[in-house]
Amino acid sequence: MAGVLVIGELNGDKLQSITGELLAAGRKLGDALGEEVAVALLNGGDDAGQSAIALGADRAYLVQDDVLADMQLDAQVAALEKVCGDVQPSVVLIGRTLAGRDVGPRLAFRLGVGLAQDCLQVDADTDSGRVVAVRPVYGGNALAKVTFPDANPQMVVLRGKAYEPLEADASRSGEVVVVNPGLDASVVKARLVETVTQEAEGVRLEDAGIVIGGGRGLGGPDPFDQLEDLARLLGGAVGASRAVCDAGWLDHSYQVGLTGKTITPDLYITVGISGASQHMAGCSASKHIVAINRDADANIFKSASFGVVGDWKNVLPSFIETVRELVDS
């Protein structure tokens, strides 16, 4: 039986980065509580299972069923309910991804337990053997520690980039178990009509070492062409505040913040972003923030390593030209 069960995610037959992050958190809890760490991989193959073991799992459950072919939400929840019933974990860790945000609450309801959403950290209280999770509250203005009553499993949804994956160790040994939950097709209440793939170029926003972020202060969508130029020069990615995405200037896949993506770049250059707490909740782990804003009292300067007070129209073009000269030299 697993003490800590990680609900992994796959991209094809490869582990998503969130799976390695969850395994790092799970390994920390497992070591503190003296319990096994397992991972459940829906439609996972043996290679994915071995990769999970190399990243810290003691056991990998490969959940395979024809009903999971389209990975419909209803089928995922039903399959994971069956796995949790068989494994009886004391802790379940889920990533705060598009899938995880849907699966987590539904699975918790099925299991009759509570759920700690959008957590940044998990620790073990070794006296009680219970999990203590840290999550933002009041729009990210404060952090709360939450714990769980006696009921198991203790379910935690962890924000992406909260943990660094462990170094893969191919010498680690573990058990790979194929699980067939025996799902009935009737569990699926919705029908997949069409899958639309969004084309993406360059580095993923969540994985970028350098991010150029634009805010409402840019005044419209056209200036983002300049941000794209700068991102290409630096080998980075472009992000945006919620106001930009809500205005339709960029797709919501660019959104950084409490209700968007969490980024942890080495360098985050913001242009026309005021630094509202909801935005900072998604980028506060950046190693260095450079802010360009004409408002000297903007909140972003409180978190910035370097700041430029001025109109981006005057600052940005010369900055891009300087970067271009440095790159070409």
pLDDT in tens, 47-81: 999 999 999 999 999 999 999 988 899 999 999 99
- From the list 306, 238, 295, the residue with the least C-alpha distance to 272 is 295
Query: Could you tell me which of 41, 71, 74 has the C-alpha nearest to residue 57?
Result: 41
**CATH number of the domain at 4-187, please?**
3.40.50.620
User: Could you give the CA distance from residue 108 to residue 100 in angstroms, rounded to a whole number?
Assistant: 12
pLDDT at 1 over 60: no
pLDDT at position 289, please?
97
Residue 264 CA: distances (Å) to CA of 207, 208, 219, 233, 326:
8, 8, 26, 19, 25
The model's pLDDT over 257-312, given as tens digits with 9 standing for 90+, comes to 988 898 989 999 999 999 998 899 889 889 999 999 999 999 999 999 999 999 99
Domain locations in the chain as residue ranges = 4-187, 205-328
Q: What is the pLDDT of residues 9-34, one digit of tens each?
A: 998 889 999 999 999 999 999 999 99
Residue 65, Cβ density class (10 Å: 0-12 exposed, 13-18 middle, ≥19 buried):
middle
Write the CATH number of the domain with boundaries 205-328. Answer: 3.40.50.1220
Task: Count CA atoms closer than 13 A to 178's CA, side-chain side.
Answer: 6
Per-residue pLDDT of 170-210, as tens digits, reads 999 999 999 999 999 999 988 888 888 777 677 889 889 99
Q: What is the 3-state secondary structure (H, E, C) of 239-282?
A: EECHHHHHCCCCCHHHEECCCCECCCCCEEEEECCCCCHHHHCC
- Residue 142 bridge partners (DSSP): 137
| Fold: same for 4-187 and 205-328 | yes
Round the average pLDDT of the chain to a whole number and report it.
Answer: 93
Tokens of 224: 């983002």
Write down the pLDDT at residue 2. Answer: 63
How far the first Cα of the chain sits from its last, in Å, is: 59
Task: Provide φ and ψ at 111, rounded to 5°.
Answer: -90, -5
Whole-model pTM: value is 0.83
